[in-house]
Amino acid sequence: MNRIVPAPIARQPWAMLVPLLLLVAFGGAVLFSAAGGNFDAFAKGHLIRFSLFLLVAAIMVWFPRDLVKFMAYPVYGVVVLLLVAVEAVGAMGGGSQRWLELGFMRIQPSELMKPAIVLALAHFYSTLPGGMVQTWRALVPAGALIAVPMALVLLQPDLGTSLAIAFGGAVVMFLAGLPMRWFVGAGAAAAVAVPLLYFFGLKEYQQRRVTTFLDPESDPLGSGYHITQSKIAIGSGGVSGKGFNEGSQSHLNYLPEPHTDFVFATMAEEWGFLGGLFVLFAFGMILKWGLGVARRSNDRFAKLLAAGMVATIFFYVCINLMMVMGLAPVVGIPLPFMSHGGSSMMTNMICIGTLMMVNGWNRNQPKTGIY
Amino acid sequence: MRKKRRQTPVTSNTLKSRFDRRSFVLASVGGGIGTLLAVRMGYLSIAENEKYKTESESNRVNLTLIPPRRGWLLDRNGAPLASNRADFRVDIIPERTPDAEKTLDTLGELLGYEPQKIQDLKDSVEDARGFQPVEVGTGLTFDQFAAISVRLPDLPGVVPQRGFTRFYPTGPSVGHLIGYVGPASAEEYELDRNPLLITPGYKIGKDGLEKQFEQELRGVPGARRVEVTASGRIVRDLDTRRDVQGDPVKLTIDGPLQDYAARRIGLESGSVVVMDCLTGDLLCMASMPSFDPNSFSDGIGRVEYSMLREDERVPLRNKVLKGLYPPASTVKPMVGMSFLKEGIDPEETVFCGGGLRVGNRVFRCWNRRGHGHVNMAKGIYQSCDVYFYHLAQRTGMDPIAAMARRYGMGQEFPIPVTSQFYGTVPDPAWKQKKYDRPWAAFDTVNATIGQGYMLSNPLQLAVMATRLATSKVVMPRLVLNDKVPNFEDMGVSDEHKLAVRKAMSDVVNGPGTARRGQLPISDVLMAGKTGTAQVVSLTKSDGRSGPWKYRDHGLFIFFAPYDNPRYAGAVVIEHGGGSGAAYPIARDVMTFMFDPGKGMDALRRYESQWGGTAQQRLERKYARYAAEAGEDVLPQPTRDEEIFARVDAEARMVAEETVEETADAAINRSQNVDSTSAGTPR
């Protein structure tokens, strides 16, 4: 450890914090431009929310492991109840909705479910005796834990979030050591189920999103418009972009949602390929650090929890970037730390806070020969 | 159990190493996806950069074409036969108008619209989407335009602007010659995929010279580049490129003469062609009745169009080029030339007793009492049919047909017109081919007096007159250039040429058939030849009275002065009842040529009887027709600005008066171009 820097500061996980802070600041700059050079519109709220949730994350660092383990199922249960409440309010209001109005803020329980499912599964597998990992007892309760919130979120209907929940859960199950053939089998089953799901499970607007993703030019002014305009924004940026505040696609409203789902395209238009590489690199650093935290932990619960959180952030980043570059259908998933929006910031900062928490636990754990 | 046996015991360490292995796999997959994303982004922003840059620009920039001002069609003195009239119009852009109701009420009040019209506008503004402007009015007066412009701060979204519409100062007088303009049809756009053609407000030449010179007259459109948002709102103007006006086309036509001739045709249906004997310049190609190309260019109404289509005098056909008539006796000087060429002595006489037996049929001379002894000169000036019947039997048809073609009959001329009907010069080979019947003696008899199969258009008759006058192969031309063409000599001896000239002069000035055709100018003698073309057999009509369409055509070819031909031409009056309908027109047109004042006096006398100029009569006729059809006809928009050099017949008079002291005619002509003085009634 460097002695010039005081220990409390040197102790902080700078390998993650530096890219994160740069990313959020960069996000603020992009949002400033997306609002047409207005700081108050998006950028201010973005930075305030980040500061707030960074504080939350700092507080989470102090949570002891036992408390977190103890709270795992109750937290999961509360979030499921909130999801039910969303459905109930939606049904009474005569329309579907995704959030709950709490007076001081609006919360989206489906967002909270992403870290909550990871927490619950990590706890489940950490308590599952090692001998049962190969048996149905490792699968069925975990499957139920995933299926209930997925079903509730699909009812909203929000395909992107339910897939995110499934992905987080699946990664925890995979890392928990469940037999490989189950995953292969599940992959095969998915290959069969996806077409069936497409024709019978998806709403028409969701079907259209998939078909236009496959051929965006088929309907350039209709549903393919989002993907086409996003690709134009990214492609027209070139190597170094059109310059800060000079993006015509975002400023003239050709790009849909330039401050939320398509913030990466807004960025790429003005900062070009170099800006894109920076964003990819920053996410890479954060995720690499997160995975390192998971691997360094000696505790099964902490390992699975940290890895699940990394997977959750990764899912956001991966699906969002694939979507804006025309590699995935438009599913409405924002880009962590850059998109304007409280819910995604909250989820991702909970993930970061959890990782910082596990990082803190790691520091206090007995050293082993491996690490 | 079988399953358990196969399984190795799972310990905490196994799970740990599984976690390590599997997390490594996941990290690799994640890294792979990250690399894929980086590659994908590089592909989009570097490899496909050009493509997306273009697409981004075409998103951002909206190009509006500014229709080019059309080139002018000028007469030989540089006065416009077709020009562009500044047109004031006002549009409204609904998106920029917060309170469209109120704005339209104000506009309607300023423009004096009726409540119904204002309501229609409100409806169309409501239906309009995006940035598409809605037309509120065109053809505004300057006062209306100014009134709106002054109130612009209170009228957001209202765009008053200047445009141009095609303007033909002499209207119907040039209708057939010049044609008209109109919006391009789908077929025209198929042929020429120029985005200009589908720009609102742009018009292309649809007929006549407007169509023929489309490419020259078109010009280069201007363009306005603006930055627009996705919803079409204009953010700012990027740049504007001015249009380049189309090139002017200078014609050989003499504007005032064209107008005079067209108006002099009066109530008749016919055409007048005048050519310059020295250059072949077509000075006048008038065809009446005609349409007003101004109303075609403004988008002709259904009622007006059906009025023109139903008229038995076919005002939609250019009779100069597409009217075919038996040339009748106007061929006689030309046939005389062929006799001379065949060695017949012009003093040889033939006895005319009022008819000639050919085969078993008697062909009558037009003069049943006979002409007595007839030599060639008398044959021409008295138009004795028997003289030609008799001698044509001797020469046969072939030399006559060859001579006819040499004088322009049956020929198509290389002038820039959309189409010419070139008629027929019959000969034995032609008849054999066409009807599969041998040539008969009576065919020759018919052909020598320009009847039977023989057909020609008025332009050919004018060319024939010019070639008779000059004995040169004068070619007509329509586009002016400074070169004086050198025409091939026809190989006619001076003696023969002068003999025929003298005979043709005697038609008018001597004991001929057109003595009322003498010019009222002491030192200029006009020569000519009358013709009366039978339309139906004498048993059906006497040719002079009865139903209009059974009356004879009246024809006249002429040149003047007879001893030093300067101008030549032809007049054809459809169903005029004989040549008496044609040669007075030629007389007045030639009078106007040499003494505009005298010519104009004659025209004014006629027009006061006929009820106004051709344009005034056409407008009244339309109003009457429309009233019968139960439609309201709005008065023609007043033309406040007298910005155009005048090409109507009166302009020549004005020019003459201002330079009365100067005898030099050349100066008169050039002065006329600049003359803008008004005051003469139109």
pLDDT digits (tens, 9 = 90+) for B57-110: 888 887 777 778 889 999 888 888 888 887 787 878 776 677 888 888 888 888
ipTM reported for the complex, 2 dp: 0.91
pLDDT digits (tens, 9 = 90+) for A88-127: 887 776 556 777 777 666 778 888 999 999 999 999 999 9
Across the interface, of A130, A171, A234, the residue whose CB is closest to B45 is A234
**pLDDT attached to residue A170:** 92
Cβ contacts of B15 on chain A, cutoff 8 Å: 130, 133, 176-177, 300
Interface with chain B: mutation pick from A167, A252, A309, A310, highest number of B CBs within 10 Å: A252
Q: Are the beta carbons of A234 and B227 separated by less than 8 Å? A: no
Across the interface, of A232, A239, A280, the residue whose CB is closest to B37 is A280
- Nearest by Cα to A269 from A60, A34, A89, A71: A34
According to DSSP, residue B328 is labeled: G
Q: Is the pLDDT of residue B282 over 90?
A: yes
Interface with chain A: mutation pick from B16, B24, B41, highest number of A CBs within 10 Å: B41
Across the interface, of A294, A307, A325, the residue whose CB is closest to B41 is A325
Phi, psi of A107 (to 5 degrees): -115, 150
What residue of B is the nearest CA neighbor of A297?
B16
Across the interface, of A236, A273, A327, the residue whose CB is closest to B53 is A236
Cβ contacts of A254 on chain B, cutoff 8 Å: 56, 59-60, 229-230
Place of tokens 């062909």: B363
Instruction: Give start and end residues of each alpha helix (H) in B61-191.
Output: 100-111, 115-127, 142-150, 175-178, 186-191
Tell me the range of A77-91, A189-203, B645-659 where mean pLDDT is highest: A77-91
Query: Which residues have a Cβ under 8 Å from the Cβ of B108 and sit 6 or more positions away?
Result: B115, B117, B118, B121
More confident residue, B649 or A46: A46
**Whole-angstrom Cα distance, residue B56 to residue A231?**
10
Give whole-number Cα distances, B464 to A353, B56, B322, B331, in Å. Answer: 106, 66, 17, 9
Q: Does B41 touch chain A (CB under 8 A)?
A: yes
pLDDT digits (tens, 9 = 90+) for B387-402: 999 999 889 899 999 9
Instruction: Give start and end residues of each alpha helix (H) in B595-648.
Output: 596-610, 614-628
**Whole-angstrom Cα distance, residue B448 to residue B451?**
7
Contact of A138 with A167, CB cutoff 8 Å: no
Across the interface, of B38, B60, B229, the residue whose CB is closest to A280 is B38
Q: Does B186 touch chain A (CB under 8 A)?
A: no
Query: Which residues have a Cβ under 8 Å from the Cβ of B572 and sit 6 or more positions away?
Result: B270, B271, B319, B323, B325, B458, B461, B553, B554, B555, B556, B582
Measured in angstroms, the CA of A125 and the nearest CA of chain B are apart by 11
What integer is the mean pLDDT of B230-243? 77
Q: In chain B, what is the greatest distance between 2 CA atoms, to the nearest angstrom? A: 146
Across the interface, of B16, B33, B60, the residue whose CB is closest to A248 is B60
**Whole-angstrom Cα distance, residue B211 to residue B179?**
7
Query: Which residues have a Cβ under 8 Å from the Cβ of A323 and sit 6 or more positions away?
Result: A227, A230, A261, A329, A330, A331, A333
Phi, psi of A196 (to 5 degrees): -65, -45
Q: Does B45 touch chain A (CB under 8 A)?
A: yes
More confident residue, B194 or A31: A31
What integer is the mean pLDDT of A51-56? 94
Interface with chain A: mutation pick from B7, B37, B234, B236, highest number of A CBs within 10 Å: B37
Place of tokens 């057939």: B176
- Nearest by Cα to A50 from A339, A354, A359, A259: A339
pLDDT digits (tens, 9 = 90+) for A126-170: 998 877 888 888 889 999 999 999 999 888 777 788 888 999 999
Q: Is the pLDDT of residue B625 over 90?
A: no
pLDDT digits (tens, 9 = 90+) for B289-342: 888 888 877 666 667 778 888 888 888 888 889 889 999 999 999 999 999 999
pLDDT digits (tens, 9 = 90+) for B449-459: 888 899 999 99
Across the interface, of A174, A232, A237, the residue whose CB is closest to B59 is A232
Annotated domain spans of chain A? 13-362
Q: Does B242 touch chain A (CB under 8 A)?
A: no
Across the interface, of A131, A175, A280, the residue whose CB is closest to B19 is A175
Of all residues in chain A, the percent with pLDDT exceeding 90 is 47
**Whole-angstrom Cα distance, residue A61 to residue A11?**
12
Q: Are the beta carbons of A253 and B31 separated by less than 8 Å? A: no
Q: Is the pLDDT of residue B186 over 80?
A: no
**pLDDT attached to residue B62:** 78
pLDDT digits (tens, 9 = 90+) for B524-571: 999 999 999 888 777 777 777 778 888 889 999 999 898 899 999 999
Q: Domain B255-611: state its class.
A: alpha beta
Q: Does B564 touch chain A (CB under 8 A)?
A: no
Q: Are the beta carbons of B52 and A276 separated by less than 8 Å? A: no
The pair of structure tokens assigned to B173 is: 């007088």
What residue of B is the nearest CA neighbor of A303?
B19
Contact of B76 with B283, CB cutoff 8 Å: yes
Across the interface, of A130, A252, A287, the residue whose CB is closest to B235 is A252
The pair of structure tokens assigned to A72 is: 């795992």
What residue of A is the nearest CA neighbor of B19?
A175
**Whole-angstrom Cα distance, residue B406 to residue B426?**
14
**The amino acid at B477:** R
- Nearest by Cα to B581 from B272, B260, B276: B272
Q: Is the pLDDT of residue B200 over 50?
A: yes
Measured in angstroms, the CA of B14 and the nearest CA of chain A are apart by 9
Question: Taking all residues of chain B, what is their mean pLDDT, rounded to a whole number?
Answer: 83
Q: Does B195 touch chain A (CB under 8 A)?
A: no
Measured in angstroms, the CA of B12 and the nearest CA of chain A are apart by 6
Measured in angstroms, the CA of A134 and the nearest CA of chain B are apart by 8
Q: Does B627 touch chain A (CB under 8 A)?
A: no
pLDDT band at A218; cut points 50, 70, 90 = low
Contact of A50 with A25, CB cutoff 8 Å: no
Q: Is the pLDDT of residue B606 over 60?
A: yes
Measured in angstroms, the CA of B47 and the nearest CA of chain A are apart by 9
pTM for the structure as a whole:
0.66
Cβ contacts of B37 on chain A, cutoff 8 Å: 280, 318, 321-322, 325, 327
Cβ contacts of B48 on chain A, cutoff 8 Å: 235
Helix (H) or strand (E) holding B86: strand B80-92
The pair of structure tokens assigned to B676 is: 């803008």
Measured in angstroms, the CA of A209 and the nearest CA of chain B are apart by 21
Phi, psi of B301 (to 5 degrees): -75, 160
Contact of B434 with B403, CB cutoff 8 Å: no
Q: Are the beta carbons of B10 and A131 separated by less than 8 Å? A: yes
Measured in angstroms, the CA of B237 and the nearest CA of chain A are apart by 14
**Whole-angstrom Cα distance, residue A328 to residue A315?**
12
Q: What share of chain B is helix, strand, coil (3-state, %, to 5)?
A: 45, 20, 35
pLDDT digits (tens, 9 = 90+) for B298-311: 666 667 778 888 88
Q: Does B8 touch chain A (CB under 8 A)?
A: no
pLDDT band at A48; cut points 50, 70, 90 = very high
Measured in angstroms, the CA of B57 and the nearest CA of chain A are apart by 8
Annotated domain spans of chain B? 63-250, 255-611, 620-674
Q: Are the beta carbons of A277 and B38 separated by less than 8 Å? A: yes
**pLDDT attached to residue A369:** 41
Q: In chain A, what is the greatest distance between 2 CA atoms, to the nearest angstrom? A: 63
**CATH code at B63-250:** 3.90.1310.10
CB atoms within 10 A of CB B542: 12
